[in-house]
C-alpha cells in the first residue's frame, strides 16, 4: 500500500513537529513542577528540612551545604524566603519558572530525579528580568 | 525500471535528505547533551530530542531559508535578467510574457494542465502557483522557526535564571535574527554565485549549465 508507506514517515515528522511546537509546557510537566514547589514551601512551613531538601536539585543541595557548611536539612529551614502561593507556572523544555504571590520566583530543572528546584527566593534586579539574571537566595 | 529512471532526481534528493536529517538528529542530540552536562543538567533521549524545540528550530531555520531562496529566485527571474547566465531568461523576455508564449487560455492545447486552459481566476492562480506555494511554505516554516526558537530561547533564559520573553519580543531578539540572517546570507550567495559562475563555467549534460561550446554571452540557454 504505497500511500501508507509515504504517509507514515510524514505523519511521524508532523507529530514530532507538533510536539515540539507544543513543548512550551506539556500539562504533566506544569503540574509536576508546581507540585515540587508547593511541597518545598509546605515542608519549610512545617520545619521538615529533609522533605524540603528532597525537592532541591543535587547541585542546589550541594551549593547550600557548601555555602552554610551544614547539612541541607539543617540549613534549608533557615533560608530567608517569602514563599507564597503559586500564581504562574512556565515550562520550556527541561526548565521551569514559578512565580509566587510574594513576588519571588523559583526555577526548576528536569533531571534524573525529575523536576527539582535549582534556585529559590529569586527576585528581579533593576532592569528587565529578561536581560538580567534574578538575584536568588539559593541557586545551583 | 522506468519509474526509478523517470523519477531519479526526486528519489536521489529524497534519500539524501532523509539520511542527512537522521544524521542531524544523531549529532544534534550529542551536541545538546554536551551542553546539558556542561550546565549540570541531565542528558535527554533521542526521542525526547527529536520532539524538542531545540531540534526543530535547527531544522526549520534551514527550511525557511531554502524556501525563501526559491521564492525570491522564482519571482526575481520573471523580471531580472543576467546576461550570459543560463539561470536568466533571454534579454528580450523580461516580464510575465504573452498568453501565447505561456500557452494559457485559448493558447493552451489539449495536453496543457486543466487550470491553464480554463481561464479566469483558476488560470490566474495556477499561473502563480509555484510562487504561492514556495512563499507559503517559507512563511509557514519561518513562523514555526519563531515559535520553536522562542521555546528553546526561553529554556535557556530559565537555565540562566532570567525571565522568559513573549513571541512578540522574541522575533525582535538577536537570537531570532541571527538564526534567520545567517541562513539568508548563504542562500543569496549561493544563487548569486550560481548565476555568475554559470556564465563562464560549464557542466556537460546538466540543464543547469549552458552547452559546453555555448558562448559566454549566450543567455537563457540550457545544456
Residues of B in contact with A2 (CB under 8 A): none
One of 3.30.2220, 2.60.40, 3.10.450, 3.30.530 is the CATH number of A24-139, namely 3.10.450
With a pLDDT cut of 90, the percent of chain B lying above it is 91
State the nearest Cα–Cα gap between B138 and chain A, in angstroms.
16
Q: Which of residues 28-87 of B touch A (CB under 8 A)?
A: 36, 40-42, 44, 50-56
Residue A77 distance to chain B (closest CA, Å):
22
A23/B41 CB distance under 8 A = no
Predicted confidence (pLDDT) per residue in B103-135, tens digit:
998 999 999 999 999 999 999 999 999 999 999
Of B36, B41, B151, the CB nearest to A92: B151
The domain ranges of chain A are 24-139
| Residue from B119, B208, B40, B125 nearest A111 by CA | B40
How far apart CA B19 and CA B32 sit, in angstroms, is 20
CA gap B220, A57 in Å, rounded: 65
**Exposure on the CB side of residue B54, measured as CA atoms within 13 A:** 25
Over 70: is that where the pLDDT of B24 sits?
yes
The pLDDT, as a whole number, for residue A3 is 39
Cα A68 from Cα B88, distance rounded (Å): 72
Task: Choose among A56, A95, A117: nearest CA to B159.
Answer: A95
The C-alpha angle B140, B144, B150, rounded to 5 degrees, equals 150
Q: Give the closest-approach CA distance of A117 to chain B in angstroms.
A: 11
Q: Judge contact between B159 and B39, C-beta under 8 A.
A: yes
Q: B39 to chain A nearest CA, in Å?
A: 10
Read off the DSSP letter of residue A132. S
Q: Report the alpha-carbon angle B207-B213-B219, nearest 5.
A: 60
Q: Which residues of A touch B155 (CB under 8 A)?
A: 92-95
Residue A93: name the closest of A8, A12, A20 by CA. A20
Q: Single out the residue of A37, A35, A51 nearest to residue A106, CA to CA.
A: A37
Residue with the three cell numbers 550529542: B30
List the single residue in A with minimal CA-CA distance to B55. Answer: A20
Strand order in the sheet with A95-100: A86-92, A95-100, A105-111, A114-123, A135-139
In this complex, do A24 and B44 lie within 8 Å of one another by their Cβ atoms? Answer: no
Question: What's the whole-model pTM score?
Answer: 0.88
Q: How far is B116 from chain A (nearest CA, A)?
A: 28
Q: What is the mean pLDDT of residues B138-162?
A: 96
Which residues of chain B are within 8 Å of residue A94 when distances are taken between CB atoms? 36, 41-42, 44, 155
pLDDT of residue B127: 95
Q: Does B151 touch chain A if contact means CB atoms closer than 8 Å?
A: yes
Q: With b meaning 16 or more CB within 10 Å and e meaning fewer, what string describes B35-46?
A: ebeeebbebbee
DSSP, collapsed to helix, strand or coil, labels residue A90 as: strand
Residue B113, Cα to own-chain centre: how many angstroms? Answer: 25
As given in the structure block, the three cell numbers for residue B78 are 520573471
Decide if B163 and A134 are in contact by the 8 Å CB cutoff.
yes
ipTM value of the model?
Answer: 0.85
pLDDT at A13: 61
- Tens of pLDDT along chain A (140 residues)? 333 344 555 555 656 666 566 555 577 899 999 999 999 999 999 999 999 999 999 999 999 999 999 999 999 999 999 989 999 999 998 899 999 999 999 999 998 889 999 999 999 987 788 999 999 999 98
Q: What is the mean pLDDT of chain B?
A: 94
Give the pLDDT confidence score for residue A4 in this predicted structure: 37
Chain-centre distance for alpha carbon A34: 8
Residue of B nearest to A99 (CA): B163
Q: Does B165 touch chain A (CB under 8 A)?
A: yes
Amino acid at each position: 500500500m504505497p500511500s501508507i508507506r509515504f504517509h507514515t514517515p510524514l505523519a511521524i515528522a508532523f507529530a514530532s513537529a507538533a510536539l515540539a511546537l507544543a513543548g512550551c509546557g506539556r500539562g504533566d510537566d506544569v503540574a509536576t513542577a508546581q507540585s515540587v514547589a508547593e511541597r518545598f514551601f509546605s515542608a519549610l512551613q512545617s520545619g521538615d528540612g529533609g522533605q524540603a531538601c528532597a525537592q532541591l536539585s543535587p547541585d542546589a543541595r550541594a551549593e547550600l551545604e557548601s555555602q552554610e557548611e551544614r547539612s541541607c536539612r539543617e540549613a534549608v529551614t533557615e533560608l530567608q524566603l517569602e514563599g507564597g502561593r503559586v500564581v504562574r507556572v512556565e515550562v520550556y523544555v527541561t526548565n521551569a519558572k514559578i512565580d509566587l504571590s510574594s513576588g519571588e520566583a523559583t526555577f526548576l530543572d528536569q533531571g534524573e530525579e525529575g523536576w527539582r528546584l535549582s534556585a529559590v527566593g529569586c527576585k528581579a534586579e533593576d532592569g528587565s528580568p529578561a536581560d538580567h539574571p534574578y538575584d536568588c537566595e539559593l541557586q545551583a | 525500471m522506468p519509474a526509478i529512471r523517470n523519477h531519479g532526481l526526486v528519489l536521489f534528493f529524497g534519500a539524501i535528505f532523509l539520511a542527512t536529517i537522521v544524521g542531524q538528529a544523531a549529532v544534534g542530540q550529542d551536541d545538546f547533551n554536551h551542553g546539558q552536562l556542561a550546565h549540570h543538567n541531565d542528558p535527554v533521549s533521542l526521542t525526547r530530542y527529536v520532539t524538542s524545540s531545540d531540534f526543530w528550530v535547527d531544522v526549520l531555520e534551514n527550511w525557511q531559508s531554502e524556501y525563501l531562496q526559491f521564492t525570491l529566485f522564482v519571482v526575481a527571474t520573471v523580471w531580472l535578467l543576467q546576461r550570459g547566465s543560463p539561470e536568466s531568461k533571454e534579454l528580450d523576455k523580461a516580464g510575465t510574457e504573452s498568453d501565447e508564449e505561456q500557452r494559457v487560455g485559448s493558447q493552451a492545447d489539449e495536453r496543457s494542465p486543466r487550470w491553464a486552459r480554463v481561464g479566469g481566476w483558476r488560470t490566474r492562480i495556477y499561473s502563480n502557483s509555484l510562487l504561492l506555494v514556495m512563499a507559503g511554505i517559507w512563511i509557514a516554516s519561518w513562523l514555526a522557526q519563531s515559535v520553536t526558537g522562542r521555546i528553546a530561547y526561553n529554556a535557556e533564559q530559565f537555565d540562566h535564571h532570567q525571565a522568559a520573553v513573549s513571541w512578540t519580543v522574541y522575533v525582535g531578539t538577536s537570537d531570532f535574527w541571527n538564526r534567520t540572517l545567517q541562513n539568508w546570507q548563504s542562500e543569496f550567495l549561493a544563487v548569486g554565485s550560481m548565476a555568475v559562475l554559470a556564465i563562464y563555467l560549464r557542466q556537460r549534460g546538466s540543464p543547469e549549465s549552458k552547452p559546453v561550446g555555448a558562448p559566454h554571452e549566450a543567455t537563457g540557454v540550457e545544456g
